[in-house]
Amino acid sequence: MSTQSASSILFTHSSRQQGFKLLELPAELADLLTSKEAPTLELKSLTPQQTTTTTTDPENREYVNLCTPTKTYLVRQVQSSNSIHIIRPSDSGVQRGDINIVGGDEDDGLNLVETMTAIAKCGSTLELHTPPEGFSAVPVLERILPVYDEVEEAEQQVEVEERGDVIRRVFADVPVSRAQCEAGWVELCAFVLRRGSSGEDVAGWCRRPSARVKLN
């Protein structure tokens, strides 16, 4: 019989496991989130319409990016060789009659309040990855924005406030950070041509000039 005065910590397993995803953060992002001015993060991916027109490779279509205001990270799932258990202190709902003690006597004087319960088991983790080539909004914007050519009739552009709202809605469907979206928009010399109807694809309200228009 044990002569230790300290109480043992009983480990139990919840029969109804909860769903958890563990996300491993790079040091720079962890520091950013714990700063006094932590930014809002976004999870962004291509829309269903874009995935059918941009690529036929499922591995390239089915992804999600985690975006800060200035950076983009690819979220990828990594299988773990060892399962990770999520535990929490017991809520004192464990009764002595509900427990089979392994390797001990029933009179060991267990303090059932000091009980840890496994509420979930994770066989994989989520990691954030930045490819060497980085991320750019240009490829997506080139596919979703119609080309403006000089043969089109000139239309008066919308007001500044409306233009900003349209651009924000276009950027919401581009799976990179806001800063990278703005850089791609400027690189393509894109602009808002008109205000469309509420049911129309907002990208159709915008244009990117053709090479001929840029030279004129």
Summarised one tens digit per residue, pLDDT across range 109-161 is 555 557 788 888 888 899 999 999 999 999 999 999 999 886 555 555 667 77
Q: Are residues 104 and 199 in the same domain?
A: no
Claim to verify: residue 74 and residue 159 sit in the same structural domain: no
Indicate the pLDDT class of residue 53, thresholds 50, 70 and 90.
very low
Residue 49: per-residue pLDDT: 64
Is residue 209 exposed (0-12), middle (13-18) or buried (19+ Cβ within 10 Å)?
middle
Domain check: are 167 and 124 in the same one?
A: no
Residue 1: inside a domain? no
For residue 117, give Cα distances in angstroms to 11, 79, 109, 122, 135: 6, 24, 19, 15, 42
Q: For residue range 63-119, what is the model confidence (pLDDT) as tens digits?
A: 899 999 999 999 999 888 888 888 888 765 555 555 555 555 555 555 555 778 888
Residue span of the structural domain in which 162 resides: 137-209
Are 91 and 171 found together in one domain? no
Q: Which of 129, 149, 180 is the last residue of a domain?
A: 129
Angle at 212 between CA 208 and CA 216, to 5 degrees: 100
**Domain limit, last residue, from 70, 103, 129:** 129
- Counted domains in the chain: 2
pLDDT of residue 99: 54
Q: Are residues 141 and 124 in the same domain?
A: no
Residue 2 inside a domain? The answer is no
CA-closest candidate to residue 210, choices 152, 168, 156: 152
33 compared with 96, residue with greater pLDDT: 33
pTM above 0.75, yes or no: no
